[in-house]
A = this chain, B = another copy of it.
Amino acid sequence: MLDPRRSRLVPDVDFEKDGKQTGFIRLFHSVHSSAYGFIPIPVVVIRNGAGPTALFVSGNHGDEYEGQIALCNLARTLDPAQITGRVILLPMANFPAGMAGRRTSPIDDGNLNRSFPGDPDGTVTQQIAYFIESTLLPMADLVCDLHSGGSSLMYVPCALMKRPANPKRFDKMKAMLEAFASPLAYITVGGSGTGEDHTLSGGAERLGIPALGTELGGSGTLTPAGLKIAERGLRNLLVHAGILPPSERIAGEAPTRFVNVSGPDHFVYASETGVFEPLVELGDTVQAGQPAARIFTPETPWAPPAVVSFQHAGLVMCKRVPGRTVRGDCLFHLGSD
């Protein structure tokens, strides 16, 4: 089913060797400043004999930092002797975006999480996606792709999964989500048609591999509370998978609250271009019809602001960060219990 062409990326680690290996996945990129150079995507493999494989990814978007730091800490501190099986860490999956601190790659404007299943002969970002989907995902028994809201959005820190059609797969992933032990978690409807099959978790679904995600904060900053949730969650996932012993499990402070994130009418979009004033805060519970935001035009300061409202009741999980906004920007989205 997968494209039979092979990826041109060359890892300089051996995924089948025991111990801790650090190195780079080499993406050869022949450009004016470097005719034969490669883009060095960092990778860490920690292996101890046979057993399940966990693949942890961050830096899928380059301006989301909690996952990057959590994987750096894991790379330094996880001892092969502690584990059974294998942990693969890809802390800066879209390396050029990560170095730039941007959602997308400065080389090709590629959004890695809209580029799956990728293309071995495509742009740099498409080549990375193809390598992950064709080479890394097939090695994995579970995947966690660590996101935050990025530069434009801020989230109540949480974990998430996409609702699969298959109930067995649902149960398996729901159990993983419970194991992650974040204070809040949400389950999204599949197939919203806006690019989800082009995500890394879309790739995992194509291959039948259980996959979790996170939204650990945002604003292009590192949120310490989100980092703590990530570090606990990853460790608990390793316990859940049998890679770490049960003694390594860290309990959450409270049971996870689960919510659903439904379709587009639970999102609020800017109706006009201007400066956005939020009228509610992250974590608020809102009612249908409640004003969500005002949009001002300080270039014509005497003009009255536009008002946009929520179409549904729900929990405010996500909020736009930048004040300056254009028509069509997402300002909020809701979750519902």
Binding site for B on A (CB under 8 A): 6, 8, 10, 22, 24, 26, 28, 30-40, 42, 44, 58-59, 62-63, 65, 68-69, 71-72, 75-76, 89, 91-92, 95, 98-104, 111, 113-114, 121, 149-153, 193-195, 198, 219-222, 224, 227, 264, 267, 269-270, 275-279, 281, 296-302, 304-305, 320-330, 333
Contacts and interface: CB of A to CB of B under 8 A. Distances in A.
B42 A301 contact: yes
Nearest to A271: B40
Contacts of A33: 151-152, 322
Nearest to A71: B301
Nearest to A154: B221
B152 A298 contact: no
Nearest to A62: B324
A178 B244 CA distance: 58
A76 B302 contact: yes
B89 A301 contact: yes
Given A63-B324, A75-B301, A35 B150 contact: yes
The 3 closest A-B pairs by CB, nearest first: A101-B324, A65-B323, A36-B330
- The SS class assigned to the A binding surface is loop
Contact of A301 (B72, B151, B264): B72
A336 B66 CA distance: 31
A276 B227 CA distance: 12
How many protomers of this protein does the assembly include? 6
Contacts of A301: 22, 42, 44, 68, 71-72, 75-76, 89, 91-92
Contacts of A151: 32-33
Nearest to A279: B224
Nearest to A89: B301
A114 B127 CA distance: 14
Given A68-B296, A323-B65, A328-B40, A278 B101 contact: no
B267 A36 contact: yes
A24 B301 CA distance: 11
A104 B222 contact: no
Contact of A152 (B32, B227, B264, B304): B32
Contacts of A221: 219, 320-323
Contacts of A44: 301-302
Contact of A68 (B35, B39, B278, B298): B298
